[in-house]
Each structure stands twice: as structure tokens, then as C-alpha cells.
Amino acid sequence: MPYGTINADIQTDSFGSKLSPSSAVFRNRLINGAMVISQRYGTGAASFTNGTNNYITDRWNIYITQTGKLTSNQSTTAPTGYINSLLVTSSSAYSVLSTDIFVLRQIIEGYNIADLAWGTANAKTVTLSFQVYSSLTGTFGGSISNGTAARSYPFSYTISSANTWTQISVTIPGDTSGTWATDNTAGMYVNFGLGVGTTGSGTAGSWAGSAYYSATGATSVVGTSSATFYLTGVQLEVGSNATNFEYRPYGTELVLCQRYAQVLGGVANQRYGTGWFFSATNGYPFITTPVSLRSPLNVTISYSALSDFVIYSGGTSLTPSAIVADTGSQNGVSILVSVTGATTGYAATLVATGSTSSRLYLLNEL
């Protein structure tokens, strides 16, 4: 069984570890470790451009330095007790360069690791556990690093049987050096290497003052055409032993994800927000958000297509030429919609067209 049984008494999980009342809930510092939330793509596969912000299942980011080498999507291939995983598929047999980086990762907000006391003499040990399944076998790698990648701990693990779910556990001593953010910025990176060159790879099992994303000599997923790599049940917790995966209610997991990204839409003629036209060209609808965003003043707006939206100036339907974030608050986000022909002082209401494909993305990722 992947999940522990918890009641008023102290229980042991399938790893044989005792769960105290204080550790029974919210043990997992990672969000959406079972890959059940996928607001952006659902099960549709996505390819990526170079750099950051290539998100698939919520909170999980693909970072790459070469375009067109892999695709990724939420999958229903999963071990017993889970319903989803995140799948990465190699698009070609690519030989990584020394400076290449292909990683699957989650960035943990500083508030969520503050009690670890990393960077001090009281740094706590943590354990990373996960379920992995690949068409490849061998020694794979990953790392833990701080928000600036100035401190990192490469780790390795073995997949002995292809196309078989393997449960992995890695214990990592707390880092007594370096700077680890404890606010709403990037506190920690949890990286899974998919193909990392020699520059970004380090010796497994020790802390280093370098930006390492994987372990030296690790298997490269992008090195084999059509290779697959599935990941689920990912948990990072305090202590030297892995406990059962903490399965949180779906609604709870969704709310945790919405602190960083909220995807609105999928309903024809949906109203997104109402505000005012402050000029003939600028309307400012305000969208009330169900969850306060991580940093309301730093929200990015994107959308499926401008043609998916209209904005009403009184009773007149106008076509937007741009939709961008204006400012945010604890209650929502004000957006700037650019048009021509509006009437100053009229109400401004942003509405989806008849298409159910319309999506408006409020992004506040780390």
C-alpha cells in the first residue's frame, strides 16, 4: 500500500516508520507529488523551448538547454494506489554537450522549508522518496540545491528492471552552509536529471558549492530515442527514513497549486472579471481569485488566443489587442485589456467567446 493509515494512535507505515501526530499531516514539502493536478495541459503532450517555466503537471517544471529533445505530459500509467504520473519521452537520440542541462524539477517556496534550518549548525536531515518507471535501466541522478544553485547535493539511484515501477528512497543530510531562502522566493530545487553534461554533474552523496543538477555518470534519458521516464509519489520529508506517501485530498492539493498558477476557462461565454474603462483604449477588469497568489504584484497573464475573448464596453463587444497583468492584491488581479472604440467610464467585462477552448492563465510561479 502506498499510503499510511493514520488515526488517533501512533501508526507505522509500510516502510516500518512510526508516524507521530505532529508528522501525520503535511509531511511532504513537495506539492502535487502524485501528479494529479494538471491545470495547463491535462494529458496532452507538450514540447518545450529553452529555459525555464516549462510546466506540465502543476509545480513540476522542465528545464532544458536544447529545444526539441523531449516531450512531457500527465500520464495515467501509475503504480498501485496512484492514478497519475508525469511522463517524459525522448524525441531523439541526443548526445548531451558538457554544458547541457535537461532536468525535471520542483522549486519549493522558502516558507515551506524554513523549519529545516539549512545554512545553520541545526540543519535537519531530509529524505526524498519517489516511484519511477523507465524504458531504460542503469544509474540515474538528480540533486537538491538552494534557490541560487550556489549549494547542491547530487544523488544517484538505480533502476534495475525496465518498464517496472521502482520505489526509491534517498536520505540527504541537512546543509550547514550556504544561504537558503525562508520567504516567498525560491528556497530549494529538487532536480531529476534527464541528461546533464559534465559541467552540471557532481559526485553523488556530498554537498558542494557548485551548481550541480545530477550525479556524474548518470543515465541520459534524452540519449535514447523514444526513451520514457515516468515519475510519481514524490515526497520530501524531515527525517532519515521514508514514510508512506502523504495523500492529500484533491481539493487541498489543487488549492496548494493555485498559489502559483490559476487557469480559468473551459466554459463558453464565461465572464472573467468586471471593471472600468479609464480611456477609449484601456479597460481594467478585476478578476477575483479563489486563492491568494504567492506574490500578487508579480503576476504574469497569458491566454489561449486573443480571439477567444471579447470585452464589453456597455453593450458593445470589442476585440482585445492585448491582455496583460496590471496589478494584484490579496483578493485578485487587475488586468489591462487594450482595445479601440471603448467609452470612458463604462463598465469593462471580459468574456470568453463561444469556444470552450478559451483559457486565461494567472501565473505566479517561483
CA-CA distance, 319 to 301, in Å (whole number)?
17
Give residue-wise pLDDT tens across range 72-108: 999 999 999 999 999 999 999 999 999 999 999 999 9
194-252 pLDDT tens trace = 999 999 999 999 999 999 999 999 999 999 999 999 999 999 999 999 999 999 999 99
pLDDT digits (tens, 9 = 90+) for 318-335: 999 999 999 998 889 999
Residue 357 has what pLDDT?
Answer: 84
Tell whether the model's pLDDT for residue 310 goes beyond 90: yes
Q: What is the pLDDT of residue 85?
A: 98
Q: What pLDDT score does 24 carry?
A: 57
> So what's the pLDDT on residue 333?
96
Higher pLDDT, 46 or 358: 358
Question: To the nearest whole percent, how much of the chain has pLDDT over 90?
Answer: 84
Summarize pLDDT for 15-44 with one digit per residue, the tens. 444 443 334 578 999 999 999 999 998 766
**pLDDT tens across 347-360, in order?**
999 999 877 888 99
Q: What distance in Å separates the CA atoms of residue 364 and residue 366, rounded to the nearest whole number?
A: 7
Q: Is the pLDDT of residue 133 over 50?
A: yes
12-21, 51-60, 63-72, 293-302: which range is least confident on average? 12-21
In the block, residue with C-alpha cell 467585462: 349
Between 51 and 312, where is the model more confident?
A: 312
pLDDT band, very low/low/confident/very high, at 266 (cuts 50, 70, 90): confident
Per-residue pLDDT averaged across 254-279, rounded?
Answer: 94
CA angle 11, 16, 17 (to 5 degrees): 65
Structural domains of the chain, ranges and CATH numbers in brackets:
11-258 (2.60.120.260), 261-363 (2.60.40)
d(CA 36, CA 238): 23
* Three cell numbers, residue 296: 500578487
Closest by CA to 235, choosing from 66, 338, 82, 102, is 82
Pairing of strands 214-215, 201-202: parallel
Q: What is the pLDDT of residue 28?
A: 98
Does residue 280 register a pLDDT over 90?
A: yes
Residue ranges of alpha helices (H) inside 145-263 are 250-258
Q: Output the pLDDT for position 354.
A: 77
Q: Is the pLDDT of residue 1 over 60?
A: no
Residues with Cβ within 8 Å of residue 67, at least 6 apart in sequence: 47, 48, 49, 50
